[in-house]
Amino acid sequence: MLAMLAVLGVIFFLAVAGLSRIYHAQRDALGRRWFTRGLTDLKAERFDRAITEFRSALLYSRDEYAYQLNLAEALVGSKRSGEAYSYLVNLWERQPEDGVVNLELARIAAQRGETELTERYYHNTIYATWPSDQEGRRRDTRLELIEYLLSIGAKAQAQSELIALEENIGEDAAQQKRMGDLFLRAGDYEHALASYRLALKSDRQNEAAVAGAGLAAFLLGRYPLAERYLQTAVEESPNDRQSADRLKTTQLVLRMDPFRRQLSVAERSKLVVEAFSTAGRRLSFCVTPKADSASADSQPSLADSWAKMKPQVSESQLRRNPDLVEQAMDLVFEIERQTNATCGTSDTADLALLLISKLHEVN
């Protein structure tokens, strides 16, 4: 009897163990089935359906890391970041080096306006572990971080990230053109110009890169170089009105600058007379603020200064008195700066004089 009972006990134990294995296998199979459906809907951006399916999968495997991660991604896609955040923080504590988790946490922190936390999670993502194409994921993440920094006006930080990214871009024309665009938005025109030139080295017919190089050179005040690029851009894209306008302004800057080298005295005098007349017309359409009563007597208005100097500004007197050239142009530049601040940018000739004034301030 004891032997029979022992045998029956073993049989029952094996039966229960077998049934348990079958039960758990069925639960795992059902969980995987719901998970697979969820992945399909997540990929198709049917987020609400994916959320339901991932939650069904978790009923069968509550601690499954992949199920929780994809549920969090679906919640983010459905704009339910609060629910997603609780899942992601739990997952981060389990695997703080997971790239996907850090990336989603960075995006949620960005939505909440938590700048310091956003940058920290993005940097975690850049140096995180990825299942495949690690360099591509890191590059894309840094680009996303740069876009975020530009969106909040953090241009200096964006420049630093762009310089770090630059080493991994290579000479691909499309990537270098994008780098040029980003450097422009970050206010780093020197690096922007270098990126556009690299793009053109690989693809000479890249019209957007030619226009970008022209704009970068224009913003740097390198007008002879800007003219060459902008001229090419207009020839290749006649409908590019922005490049055409910049080319016109660039050519005016190069023609109207009385301080450029290799000008004869007569040519310089003629340009000063023209610039002085242009500034006078600008004053007639834009009234600059008057000095306060305490300083009105000691500081005449720009209009008064212009009227007082006008009889002296002629080609013959300018040729006889080189110092008058400096005095006249100083007044012209001051008029253009103040009228620009008061009334905004005027026509192309006034804009050219304003740019010339900035050019000689730098020099």
Token pair 């207009």: residue: 234
Per-residue pLDDT, 363? 47
Tell me what the pLDDT averaged over the chain comes to.
88
| Statement to judge: residues 250 and 275 lie in one domain | no
Per-residue pLDDT, 14? 62
Residue 307 lies in domain = 265-287+300-362
Per-residue pLDDT, 76? 86
Per-residue pLDDT, 18? 57
- Name residues whose C-beta falls within 8 Å of residue 169's C-beta, 6 or more positions apart in sequence: 139, 175, 176, 179
Backbone conformation region of residue 291, classed left if phi is above 0, alpha if psi is from -120 to 50, else beta: beta
What are the tens digits of pLDDT across the range 87-144? Answer: 899 999 999 989 989 999 999 999 889 999 999 999 999 988 777 777 888 889 999 9
Per-residue pLDDT, 6? 75
| Residue 31 within a domain | no
| Statement to judge: residues 252 and 281 lie in one domain | no
Q: Report how many domains make up the chain.
A: 2
| Residue 32 within a domain | no
Per-residue pLDDT, 293? 46
What are residue 117's DSSP bridge partners? Answer: none
| Statement to judge: residues 216 and 252 lie in one domain | yes
| Residue 101 within a domain | no
| Residue 314 within a domain | yes
**Domain with 239 in it: what CATH number?**
1.25.40.10
Q: φ and ψ at 142, to 5 degrees?
A: -65, -35
Per-residue pLDDT, 295? 47
Q: 316, 325 in Cβ contact below 8 A?
A: no
- Name residues whose C-beta falls within 8 Å of residue 49's C-beta, 6 or more positions apart in sequence: 38, 41
Enumerate residue ranges in the chain where pLDDT < 70. Answer: 7-28, 288-299, 362-363
| Statement to judge: residues 236 and 306 lie in one domain | no
| Statement to judge: residues 228 and 306 lie in one domain | no
